[in-house]
């Protein structure tokens, strides 16, 4: 799974900024980016600033999170004082490969969530005045939290059964 998960993550890292770029082109010069109660816009950014911000978000955040989860344990292995925190030496490489694949899947989840938020902002800006569809926003946020919980539970289960 590790190789497939990493390839999928690379695909998400390539496709996500393309989706953001293409769907941000028709946005107005002043983009509503923050919404209060009732989905009413109460914060704005210039188009180019918003586009740069979202391109950075859909690439840098998932990459940083996935790298942190997948690479830090391997890098910090020699720095860990409690060797009991690591699997037996014979299983360390397998565990680190699994963690790298798991981190890649989390990176995919982050890409999906951030692209979904962008698409909601783009949809909100298609209205005059801009208005966020709060129901869809809460559905997207709830799905992200639920999938994050599944990810954490899978990670915890794997770490308990090493």
The DSSP-derived string for 133-146 is -HHHHHHHHHHHHH
Per-domain boundaries in the chain: 2-160
- Which H helix or E strand runs over 120? helix 89-125
Q: What predicted TM-score, i.e. pTM, was given to this entire model?
A: 0.84
- Let me know if 18 is exposed, middle or buried by CB neighbors in 10 A (0-12, 13-18, 19+): exposed
Q: Hey, is 41 helix, strand or coil?
A: strand
Q: Average of pLDDT values for 154-161? A: 74
Task: Give the Cα separation of 123 and 31 in Å (integer).
Answer: 11
The CA-based dihedral angle spanning residues 103, 108, 109, 110, taken in that order and rounded to the nearest 10 degrees: 90
Q: Give, in order, the Cα–Cα distances in Å from 30 to each of 49, 146, 151, 162.
A: 10, 33, 37, 52
What are the tens digits of pLDDT across the range 4-60? Answer: 988 999 999 999 999 999 999 999 999 999 999 999 999 999 999 999 999 999 999
Residue 122's pLDDT is 98
Check pLDDT > 90 for residue 83.
no
Separation between Cα atoms, residue 8 and residue 87, nearest integer Å: 27
Q: Give the separation between CA 65 and CA 144, rounded to whole angstroms.
A: 15
For residue 126, the SS3 value is coil
């Amino acid at each position: 799974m590790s190789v497939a998960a990493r390839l999928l993550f690379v695909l998400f890292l390539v496709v996500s900024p393309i989706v953001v770029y293409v769907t941000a082109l028709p946005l107005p010069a002043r983009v509503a980016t923050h919404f209060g109660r009732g989905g009413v816009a109460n914060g704005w950014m210039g188009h180019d600033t918003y586009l740069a911000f979202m391109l950075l978000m859909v690439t840098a955040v998932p990459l940083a999170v996935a790298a942190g989860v997948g690479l830090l344990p391997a890098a910090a292995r020699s720095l860990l004082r409690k060797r009991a925190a690591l699997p037996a030496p014979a299983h360390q490489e397998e565990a680190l490969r699994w963690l790298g694949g798991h981190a890649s899947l989390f990176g995919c989840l982050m890409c999906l969530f951030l692209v979904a938020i962008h698409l909601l902002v783009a949809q909100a800006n298609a209205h005059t005045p801009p208005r966020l569809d709060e129901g869809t926003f809460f559905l997207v946020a709830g799905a992200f939290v639920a999938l994050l919980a599944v990810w954490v539970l899978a990670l915890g289960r794997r770490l308990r059964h090493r």
